[in-house]
Structure 1
Amino acid sequence: MKSYILWGVLGISTLLLVFTLFRHRFAFHWLGYLCLNVALASFLLYALNLFLPYTNVEVPINATTVGTVSVLGLPGLLMLVALKLWVV
């Protein structure tokens, strides 16, 4: 019973999101901007891990790190590197 309710909420929220996207034409610009930020953040994390033999800093590429870098940008990447060096 609980899973049916969760699937129903997911379906209704998906339909509302699609309705909102088709209703407002600027929503596609926002979605494109979001996708561009996520792709750029993934590329920055990949480039950082590419220089692993030289820097000895490895930041994993997962949803949390990509989200942090996509929202905060380069300062977020530097924050993750500092946390990796200082805490871990």
Structure 2
Amino acid sequence: MKAYLLWGLMIGSGGLLALLLLRNRFAIQWLGALSLHVVFAAVLLYIMNLFTPYTHFELPLNAVTVGIVSILGIPGLAVLTALKLWVIV
């Protein structure tokens, strides 16, 4: 019973936070830019994984890798690639 109360409080507070964020015009623009970065990062990782049969190199498409590439961009992809090659070899 306590778990339902905790989840209810978390969902309610998350909804109130979303309501407060969406009332501000700057926040909507910020969320749009963030969404664009996340989509671009996912597409970039997907395109890189399309070449896996030729390069035998694969980066997983998960929240961590998408987050790193979203924040850092192309240099983030290079960092992930170098890290993967360094750990493998």
* CA distance, structure 1, for counterparts of residue 71 and residue 5 of structure 2: 32
Tell me how many residue pairs correspond in the alignment: 88
Instruction: Name 1:57's counterpart in structure 2.
Output: 57
C-alpha deviation, 1:2, in angstroms: 4.2
Instruction: Name 1:39's counterpart in structure 2.
Output: 39
* CA distance, structure 2, for counterparts of residue 68 and residue 2 of structure 1: 36
Matched, 1:14 2:18: no
For 1:76, the aligned partner's letter is G
For 2:65, the aligned partner's letter is T
* CA distance, structure 1, for counterparts of residue 59 and residue 6 of structure 2: 34
Displacement over 3 Å in runs of 4+: none
Matched, 1:24 2:28: no
C-alpha deviation, 1:11, in angstroms: 1.8
Q: Over residues 29-71 of structure 1, what are the superposed CA-to-partner deviations in whole Å (9 max), with x where a residue is unaligned?
A: 1111111000000001001101112222100101111111101
The alignment-based identity, stated in percent, is: 58
Gaps of 5+ in 1: none
* CA distance, structure 2, for counterparts of residue 20 and residue 53 of structure 1: 47
Gaps of 5+ in 2: none
* CA distance, structure 1, for counterparts of residue 42 and residue 58 of structure 2: 14
- Length-normalised TM-score, structure 1: 0.87
